[in-house]
Amino acid sequence: MRHIPKILIIASAVFIAGCDSYLEKDPIGLITQEQINAEPTVSSVTSSVNSTYQTLSSTLNIIGEWNWDDATVLRNDFILQDIASGDMNKKWNPDGDQAWMDQIAAFNFTSMNGAFNGQWSYDYEGIARANQAINILKQDEVIANLDMDAATRDRLLGEAYFLRAFYYFDLVNNFGDVPLLTEPLENFSEAYEVTTRTPKDEVIEFIKSDLDLAVSMLPQQKYSSASEPWRVSIGAAKSMQAKIALYNEDWNSVISYVDELQSWGFYSLNDNYFDSFDVTKEFNENEVIFAYDHEQGVNPSKGNGLAALMGWGFVAPSEDFIAAFEENDPRLGYTVDVEAQEVHKLLGSTDGAFKGNADSPGNKVYIRYADVLLWKAEALIQLGEVEEGLAIVDQIRERARNTQSVDGSETPADALPPYSGQGLSQSEAMAALMHERRVELGFESQRFMDLKRWQIAKEVLTELGKNFQDFNYLYPIPQGEIDKSGGQISQNPGY
């Protein structure tokens, strides 16, 4: 049959059995344009937006049926970010299972490695769903015939704009220049017209535009919907504006965006470090800004499939990661239990109850307030306001120091001493901030992106014995996409 790049098949919502193994069934939760157009209802339009969230989940087999080779069994952030960074090992006991993950860890891979196909597929599936939702929500005549008030319409549009921006931000940080799809594609002719890579800077400007729209449309409240607190909020959109400014070293804008977020008073550091990850406190704590809401016992499945992989021995801390924690830092115990071989932070409990459970309810946390505060601290340090930046870092350390250890014992009062007031230079302050981000955000898929944007990835990863090369600052475009586009999609240098 005619070879159409997967990005374009997804974008067109054309699913033809046999083109690619994961296309043997429609992705779970997909609401097609035809279903919406046939008889649009408030429910079908809302479902179109809801389905856009789904490729952020760790649920198993959303777009693939146990297709490990194409890396579509579940979303690959933990592989491309945590394992690649040297913080995470594939398994507690090394073996030959899923050797492609080991290739990512060692930076000994080619563009044929399935990990890149997996991330590319999940992100573009999400973008296709967002384009579809935005397209229908912008049709005044259609919406006028529905019993949907203007506020609901704006909120749903704001959510879809944010999600599209989120997926594109992930793509440009992993792959650089990428095809920019902004509308649902209806035929293969349209698909081929967009089978080229748009410069990263242009995609970033598009992301900024989407986030501006999201901020203007989302209600100024902590939860966009009180009954569905998992939905994208204005706080999430404002945080993403700050993160984009951070990645572009626009330090003054970082501070401005975070200051505005703080002025709303929606978020604060939880008293206990683990509250952001505890399944019993989801959406009843103060720190999480955006997370994917995994649920158990629903159909289609919304469980956290990463917990299932942990039951098979996957996801373990590296020795270097464990050694990074200062003495008596309780965050280590809340992140991993080496003796029990459990990753508490990703399981959502400290008793291992969800280990091996594909239907685990533990949420995937994407943005939390501690992370945002550290962005502001970094911007201040970079602008020479060293003591002011370190004072924010010390807030994070103080929270950790005031958190009981996972066994219930008190953390020593002299643990995690403050950095401010010690006369640190700007470079020493940045080193302190880098350390704090690693231990505070461990296993939250931030470390590798941090190493890259700080331009220290080669230095750090070479010291860990990895084969990191300069061209590895970008991952390769999946070779299958290039081949099926007839070379219209170009490859990144070095691959």
Q: 423-438, pLDDT tens digit by residue?
A: 999 999 999 999 999 9
**141-174 per-position pLDDT tens digit:** 889 899 899 999 999 999 999 999 999 999 999 9
Measured distance CA(376)–CA(131) in Å, rounded: 32
Q: Pull the structure tokens for residue 161.
A: 């704009």
Model pLDDT, residue 219: 98
Measured distance CA(392)–CA(433) in Å, rounded: 10
Domains of the chain, CATH where assigned: 6-484 (1.25.40.390)
Alpha helical stretches, state H, 369-488: 369-382, 386-401, 426-440, 447-453, 457-463, 479-484
Tell me: cis bond preceding 300? Omega within 30 of 0 counts: yes
DSSP string computed for 80-116: IIIIHHTSEEEESS--STTHHHHHHHHT---TT-HHH
| Count of CB atoms situated within 10 Å of the CB of 65 | 12
* % residues pLDDT > 90 (the chain): 86
**369-424 per-position pLDDT tens digit:** 999 999 999 999 999 999 999 999 999 999 999 999 999 999 999 999 999 999 99
Measured distance CA(262)–CA(286) in Å, rounded: 12
Position 216, amino acid: S
Q: How far, rounded to the nearest angstrom, does the alpha carbon of residue 264 sit from its chain's CA centroid?
A: 24
Tell me phi and psi for residue 286, to 5 degrees. -110, -5
Q: Burial, 459: exposed, middle or buried (Cβ in 10 Å; 0-12, 13-18, 19+)?
A: exposed
**240-260 per-position pLDDT tens digit:** 999 999 999 999 999 999 999
Hey, what long-range contacts does 26-31 have (CB within 8 A, 24 or more apart)? 27/54, 27/55, 27/62, 27/63, 27/125, 28/54, 28/59, 28/61, 28/62, 28/63, 28/300, 28/301, 29/54, 29/62, 29/300, 30/129, 31/129, 31/132
Position 312, amino acid: W
Contact yes or no for 343/310 (Cβ under 8 A): yes
Model pLDDT, residue 485: 87
Q: What is the pTM of this model?
A: 0.93
Output the average pLDDT for the chain: 92
Q: Pull the structure tokens for residue 401.
A: 């120091």
Helices (H) and strands (E) in the chain, counts: 23, 4
Mean pLDDT is lowest, of 14-23, 93-102, 254-263, 304-313, for: 14-23
Measured distance CA(296)–CA(210) in Å, rounded: 32
Where residue 187 falls among pLDDT bands split at 50, 70, 90? low
Find where tokens 């720190």 sit: 287
Model pLDDT, residue 16: 24
Instruction: Give me the count of residues in the chain.
Output: 495
